[in-house]
Each structure stands twice: as structure tokens, then as C-alpha cells.
């Protein structure tokens, strides 16, 4: 029997359709990775395609690794020539060869989010920007959105018009790109944008890769942004053998720039495209799929499909409504403990999914008290820890001395007695001479005003130069150990507790192990390991890639983090209108907002394989205030016959509480309805005065205006940027100095004018 006979009819059709543009609409759990790997095998074995001409591209290292492994197992000899990679890794490999044609050095550094924040902070300081009025984060968000749409700093500046805020963003964008270029660095958005720029600027390079990748397959296509779409479209422009696989019902990353219209409008871009639907699910029971289908069917902007399975009907959905969030956490904790104790499942079978990270706290507290092992996905990334960042910056400086951020981070780690005034003079000299900070350090003896301080800089420069000379002769683990021993790095933590030092030492040991495994893996794939390659690999690691399989602990994560995963037992927590979906989403003028939230719910439901439990609370503590919420509309969209055991109490059982819930919910909705915007507090009071005859009073105003400085009990000081009148309350938007932009009800926020 052929390996292709094991596929269902629609999967076979997807595998056999090898020429021209193909859109595979693959529902959750429908075996899309299986289709992609079998399609690769079919191209090689039956169509005679050279593996060298096949490319499979996806989003995460985890997905790429799984696909790589399956291709190797299925294809065997020659499989190593198939290019299986993530978007960012693909672009890094291309840019490492050809970015010099755009004026960069090929040994560029990749900046993570912390590096970007540091650079933006320096730029705002240099440009005398008041970061209380213009947050660094808002600049970075605007720049990222522009790059997602392939808008250069010059184009951005041309389109700002008379908008003062956008003019300021344009100036910062230009300076940001200038500093990245000077540091020979790219951020993550640049990796895609610069590759597209390279293809547009150099037809020779483009033709080289179009010839190389004659057959392209793209996984998770619904998550692509405009830049990624243009990259794919450009690469496929010559042979047009483009196969994209995705599910519009699982498009949940709009906030990251994902454009759902890439998949919805695929046939408009490629009128001759073949569309194939994979609707048979191999993961979940039919009851779980029926619940998912009933929810997502309420979306209008989607391609119609319905999941089905040959699996058992399974248990009905368990819905539990509690009085408080504390009761909810108690129930889930007790239920997991009971099921494990009775042998129904292990801890590793269970996952708790929620809308926001803040919801994990109550579950964590209960798990600690109950002795239940757990892991929160999305905590501090391993590579963001202090000791790891320090050592990586040493490696970056050795590899690429033009990276000013890396050099400045480690020049006094451990302490070398080089003062801030000395570093400021070096930086000024580097700015005046338009050179890197490290090159200025090498010329410290010639910098006016440094005097004896230059003698403290020389040992650092000599150390980096010596390390550079050792790179060709030392393995990466040896290089790291040499850095640790020569600098006596751990002395930096001599004032910390023994436990803290031990934890840092363990993290450092893990980094050394990572370096060793990178070298081993590289040689196994026929590539020569390098310092640049190692830094590139750790820069492209995502949080979800660190989720271990086979470990016996309960996983807690947001619904966004859960995409692509599956668990036998899933607990969807906090399913309340106002939480999931949020009030802002419910009352948004854009219907696509609620549709994206519904897709997120669909993703959560379809993570469950055997048992799905949905929980909600009538009242919950949010930002120090008690909030009353109704059961989420997404729960109400599931037919009653799909529910088994429920604890939803009738209104007559708790009339007082239900009345408070209904009243609080009504007021919150009214407050968020977009009534005429009052741009200033003066206008608000004018409106209140005009309504005085009908019972309005000066209390209708919040007591502050747009532009005023206010203080919040938790978030500290911030600037009021907008006030919306509605119902009996005001929706106030505040840009807090520390916590960024927050929207809140005035009556709950209790803001005090500074």
C-alpha cells in the first residue's frame, strides 16, 4: 500500500495538486503538517522534483522542527536539501549572504525587544522628546506597523500631512533606522522588510532564489502580514507553484500585524488558484467540534466550513459559573487534583487557557497551596535574563563591534571603574566622527579630555581583540568559559544570596549546553557552526518554543500562546462578557474586532482533545475594583444540548446578586457606547451645563481635562489623552508614565489631578 493511500480523500487531493497556486483551508486538527510533508515526498518521489527546489516555510521554530523531522523520516535520502524554515530564519539566511548589497555588513546583529527599547530610549533622549507625552513604546509600535506594511521612513514622512503626532513619529522612525544602520543591526521587522527590499533592488539575487525555490509551501498562512505576503508573492513570481495552508477561523494575531485578507482574498490575487478544504478533524471529540462550529458560525468574514471527526462523540462540554474568581480557581484546582488522583489523567494532560496574563495569579496561588506542579508559558524568556543577556552581549561584541548597545552593556560588567562621564565623552566622539562606539573605544588615547581614564578602557579593548583572535580555534562552549574565567564574571553577583547565585550559574550552564547542542545540530545538518550562526539562532527563539513536551505539570497560558498546541483536558477560564470578549471589543464600531475575539474562542475550544471545561464568575476583582459580568456571549452561542454538567444558577436563586450583575453590565455597556466625543474637559462641562435642566450637574464631569496630569493608585502618574462621555460615567484614556496607555471608567479609576 502506498503512503498516500493512508490520507483521506481531501488530503490526497491537496497532495496531488502540485502545479500552480493552491489554497488549502485546513481546519483545526485536520492534519495539515501531514499533508505538507506528504506533498513534499510526492514532489520528490513521483514528480521527480529536485529537493533543492522545494521550500516549506512557517512561523515558529517548534513547527519548523516538527516539519523538518517528518520530512526527513518520510523522504529519507535527499531530504536535507529541502529548505524547511521559519520566515525570519529564511530571511536571515538570505541577508547573511547578500545584505552587503544594501550597504550593511553581513555580520549584522539582530535586536530583540529589549534592545529596541534601549535604542529608542537613547533616541528620545538625544532628540529631547518628552517621554511622558510621547511614550517610547508608541514610537516602536508605529515603526513596527509601518514595516509590516513595507512603508519606509521616507514614505512615512510623506504621508503624515499636518498630524503633529505622526510628524514626530516620522522623525523618530528616520533616526531609529539611521542608528540601526550605524550599529549594523536589524530588528525583527527589518528581517522581512530588508529581504523584500533586497529582491526589489537586485534582480540577480531575486532570480537566484526564484530558481532555487520553484515549489513553495507556506504554513499558517492566515498569520502573514503584508510584508510576508509580498515576500512570498515575489519568490513565487516566476514559477507560481505556491501552496499556502491556513485557516481563516484561526487568524488571531491582528495585534501583531497579521492580515486576514491575505487568506480571504487569495483567489483575487491568484484567480487560477485551486481551493481545497480539510474539514476532517483527528484531534477532538465530536461534541467539542460541535461547540467550536456553533461559535465560529456566527462570524461573517470567513470561508464556510465545518469540522467533523470519526472519533467518538465524547463527553459533553462542562460549564461552571461561580460567584467569584476565587471560587473559579478553587474549583479548577480541586477538579484537576481529583482527576489525577483517580487516574483519569496526569498533570501534563491539563491546560488552563485565559484571555489575559493577569488571570493566571489566582490559579498559581491555588496550585502552590495544593502542591500541584505547573508552568506559566509567557514568563521571563530565558534569553532575557540578566546573566544571559550579558554573555550574549560579550559574544555580539566579539562578533560585531558595530553593535553599540551590546558594547555599552558590558563595558562595565564586571566593574572596570569606567565612569559615566568617560563613556559620555567616548559616545560624543563616536557621534562626531560617525563611527561605532567600540571603534571610538579603540581610539580612547586620542579622545580629548579623557586623560587617565583612557588607561581603564584599554584592557577591555585588548580583551575583546584577544577573544576575536580565538574564535577560529575555540568551540563556542570553550569561548563562553574563557569569557567567564577571564572576566571573573560571577564576581558581579557576590552580594546576592547563595540561591540567587546558584540560579544564575545554572542559567549560564544551560547557555553553554545550548551552544554545544547548536554545534552538534549544525554539523549533523552539514553546516559549519559559527558564532554568528549561534547568535542568530538564539535571537529567533520564541517563548512557545521552550514548552517541553512530556513533562508532568499543568500548563497555564493565554489563548494566543496556545495556538498550535493540543491537550487532553482544557479549562477555558474567565468566559464573561467584559473579560472575554472585553467591553471595548463588544462596543467597538469595527465588527471585525468581535470576530477576531470569536476566532480566539474557537482556537481555545479546538485545543481540547477529550474534555473541555468552561468557567466564568459573576463578579471578579479587576484593577482593585469589583466588576460584575454576564456569561460570555460565546458560551451562549453554544447550543444547550452540547452541555453536560453545569452549575449556572437561575436568577431566582440569587435575585440580589443577579440584579447587581445586570445593572453593572448595563452601565458598563452604556459607558462604552461611542457617543459624541468631548475632546476637552471644558466641552464636557459645557454639555453638563446644557443638560442642567434635565437633572445633570457638574458631577457629570470627571474633574480633569485632556492634557491634565493625573495619578492612579496602582499605575502612578500619567497624562489624560481622551475622555468619552457615555451613560452615567466617562471612559478615560490615560498614558501612564510606567504602565503605558490604559482605558478605564472614571468612577472606578478614581484618578486624582496632580
Contact 135, 735 (CB under 8 A): yes
Whole-angstrom Cα distance, residue 571 to residue 339? Answer: 13
**163: its cell numbers:** 498630524
* All residues at 6 or more sequence positions from 285 whose CB lies less than 8 Å from its CB, including other chains: 309, 311, 312, 313, 314, 315, 609, 610
Whole-angstrom Cα distance, residue 72 to residue 128? Answer: 55
The 3-class secondary structure across 598-627, one letter per residue, is HHHHHHHHCCEEEEEEEEEEEEEEECCEEE
- Residue 93 CB-density burial (10 A; 0-12 exposed, 13-18 middle, 19+ buried): middle
DSSP 3-state of 81: helix
Respond yes or no: is residue 33 known to be catalytic: yes
Catalytic residue among 220, 248, 390, 577: 220
Respond yes or no: is residue 654 known to be catalytic: no
Catalytic residue among 33, 109, 321, 422: 33
Residue given cell 562552549 in the structure block: 477
Contact 321, 651 (CB under 8 A): no
Backbone φ and ψ for 48, nearest 5 degrees, come out as: 70, 20
DSSP string, 416-477: ----HHHHHHHHHHHHHHT--HHHHHHTGGGSTT-TTHHHHHHHHHHHHHHHHHHTTTS-HH
Respond yes or no: is residue 250 known to be catalytic: yes
What Cα–Cα distance (Å) separates residue 487 from each residue in 2, 71, 102, 420?
A: 60, 44, 37, 20
Catalytic residue among 32, 305, 402, 598: 32
Catalytic residue among 607, 620, 630, 633: 607
* All residues at 6 or more sequence positions from 449 whose CB lies less than 8 Å from its CB, including other chains: 425
Respond yes or no: is residue 32 known to be catalytic: yes
Respond yes or no: is residue 485 known to be catalytic: no
Closest CA to 66 of 92, 93, 34, 113: 34
DSSP state of 171: H
Catalytic residue among 86, 228, 250, 333: 250
Strands 716-726 and 740-745, bridge-based pairing: unpaired
Respond yes or no: is residue 666 known to be catalytic: no
Whole-angstrom Cα distance, residue 597 to residue 548? Answer: 28
Catalytic residue among 148, 219, 519, 610: 219
Residue given cell 481551493 in the structure block: 275
Q: Which residues belong to the active site?
A: 32-33, 219-220, 250, 607
Amino acid at each position: 500500500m502506498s503512503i498516500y493511500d493512508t490520507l483521506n480523500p481531501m488530503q490526497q487531493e491537496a497532495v496531488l495538486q502540485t502545479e500552480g497556486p493552491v489554497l488549502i483551508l485546513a481546519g483545526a486538527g485536520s492534519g495539515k503538517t501531514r499533508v505538507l510533508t506528504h506533498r513534499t515526498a510526492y514532489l520528490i518521489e513521483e514528480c521527480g522534483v529536485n529537493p533543492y527546489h522545494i521550500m516549506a516555510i512557517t512561523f515558529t521554530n517548534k513547527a519548523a522542527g516538527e516539519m523538518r523531522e517528518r520530512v526527513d523520516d518520510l523522504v529519507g535520502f535527499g531530504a536535507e536539501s529541502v529548505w524547511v524554515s521559519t520566515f525570519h530564519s529564511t530571511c536571515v539566511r538570505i541577508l547573511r549572504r547578500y545584505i552587503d548589497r544594501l550597504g550593511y555588513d553581513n555580520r549584522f546583529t539582530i535586536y530583540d525587544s529589549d534592545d529596541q527599547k534601549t535604542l529608542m530610549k537613547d533616541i528620545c533622549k538625544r532628540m529631547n522628546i518628552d517621554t511622558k507625552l510621547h511614550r517610547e513604546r508608541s514610537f516602536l509600535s508605529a515603526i513596527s506597523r509601518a514595516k509590516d506594511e513595507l512603508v519606509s521612513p521616507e514614505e512615512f514622512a510623506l504621508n503624515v500631512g499636518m498630524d503633529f503626532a505622526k510628524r514626530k513619529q516620522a522623525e523618530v522612525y528616520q533616526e531609529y533606522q539611521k542608528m540601526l544602520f550605524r550599529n549594523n543591526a536589524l530588528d525583527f521587522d527589518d528581517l522581512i522588510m530588508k529581504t523584500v527590499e533586497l529582491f526589489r533592488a537586485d534582480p540577480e539575487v531575486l532570480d537566484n532564489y526564484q530558481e532555487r525555490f520553484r515549489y513553495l509551501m507556506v504554513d499558517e498562512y492566515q498569520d502573514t502580514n503584508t510584508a510576508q505576503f509580498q515576500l512570498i508573492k515575489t519568490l513565487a513570481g516566476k514559477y507560481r507553484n505556491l501552496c499556502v495552508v491556513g485557516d481563516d477561523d484561526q487568524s488571531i494575531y491582528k495585534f501583531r500585524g497579521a492580515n486576514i485578507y491575505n487568506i480571504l482574498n487569495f483567489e483575487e490575487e491568484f484567480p487560477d488558484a485551486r481551493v481545497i478544504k480539510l474539514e476532517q478533524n483527528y484531534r477532538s471529540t465530536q461534541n467539542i467540534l460541535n461547540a467550536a462550529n456553533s461559535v465560529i458560525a456566527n462570524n461573517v468574514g470567513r470561508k464556510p466550513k465545518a469540522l467533523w471527526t470519526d472519533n467518538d462523540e465524547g463527553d459533553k462540554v462542562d460549564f461552571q459559573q461561580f460567584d467569584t474568581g476565587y471560587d473559579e480557581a478553587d474549583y479548577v484546582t480541586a477538579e484537576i487534583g481529583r482527576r489525577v488522583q483517580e487516574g483519569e489523567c496526569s498533570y501534563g494532560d491539563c491546560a488552563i487557557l485565559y484571555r489575559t496574563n493577569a488571570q493566571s495569579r489566582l490559579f498559581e496561588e491555588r496550585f502552590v497551596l495544593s502542591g500541584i506542579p505547573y508552568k506559566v508559558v509567557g514568563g521571563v524568556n530565558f534569553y532575557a535574563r540578566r546573566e544571559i543577556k550579558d554573555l550574549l552581549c560579550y559574544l555580539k561584541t566579539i562578533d560585531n563591534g558595530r553593535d553599540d548597545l551590546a558594547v555599552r552593556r558590558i563595558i562595565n560588567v564586571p566593574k572596570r571603574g569606567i565612569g559615566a562621564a568617560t563613556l559620555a565623552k567616548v559616545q560624543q566622539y563616536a557621534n562626531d566622527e560617525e563611527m561605532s562606539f567600540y571603534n571610538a573605544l579603540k581610539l580612547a588615547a586620542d579622545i580629548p579630555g579623557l586623560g587617565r581614564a583612557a588607561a581603564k578602557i584599554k584592557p577591555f579593548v585588548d580583551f575583546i581583540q584577544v577573544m576575536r583572535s580565538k574564535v577560529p580555534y575555540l568551540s563556542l562552549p570553550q569561548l563562553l568559559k574563557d569569557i567567564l574565567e577571564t572576566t571573573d564574571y560571577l564576581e558581579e553577583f557576590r552580594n546576592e544570596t547563595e540561591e540567587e547565585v546558584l540560579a544564575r550559574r545554572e542559567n549560564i550552564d544551560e547557555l553553554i549546553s545550548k551552544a554545544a547542542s547548536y554545534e552538534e545540530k549544525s554539523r549533523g545538518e552539514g553546516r559549519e557552526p559559527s558564532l554568528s550562526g549561534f547568535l542568530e539562532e538564539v535571537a529567533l527563539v520564541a517563548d512557545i518554543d521552550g514548552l517541553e513536551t512530556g513533562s508532568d505539570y499543568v500548563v497555564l497560558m493565554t489563548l494566543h500562546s496556545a495556538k498550535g498546541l493540543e491537550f487532553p483536558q482544557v479549562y477555558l477560564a474567565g468566559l464573561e462578557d467584559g473579560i472575554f470578549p472585553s467591553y471595548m471589543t463588544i462596543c467597538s464600531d469595527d465588527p471585525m474586532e468581535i470576530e477576531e475575539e470569536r476566532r480566539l474562542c474557537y482556537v481555545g475550544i479546538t485545543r481540547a482533545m477529550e474534555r473541555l471545561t468552561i468557567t466564568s464568575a459573576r463578579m471578579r476583582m479587576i484593577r482593585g475594583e469589583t466588576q460584575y459580568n454576564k456569561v460570555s456571549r460565546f458560551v451562549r452561542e453554544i447550543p444547550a444540548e452540547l452541555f453536560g454538567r453545569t452549575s449556572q444558577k437561575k436568577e431566582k436563586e440569587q435575585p440580589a446578586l443577579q440584579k447587581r450583575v445586570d445593572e453593572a453590565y448595563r452601565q458598563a455597556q452604556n459607558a462604552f457606547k461611542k457617543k459624541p466625543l468631548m475632546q476637552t474637559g471644558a466641552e464636557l462641562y459645557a454639555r453638563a451645563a446644557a443638560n442642567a435642566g434635565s437633572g445633570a450637574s457638574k458631577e457629570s464631569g470627571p474633574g480633569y481635562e485632556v492634557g491634565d496630569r493625573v495619578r492612579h493608585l496602582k499605575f502612578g502618574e500619567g497624562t489624560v489623552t481622551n475622555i468619552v462621555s457615555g451613560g452615567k460615567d466617562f471612559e478615560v484614556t490615560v498614558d501612564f508614565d510606567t504602565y503605558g496607555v490604559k482605558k478605564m471608567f472614571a468612577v472606578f479609576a478614581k484618578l486624582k489631578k496632580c
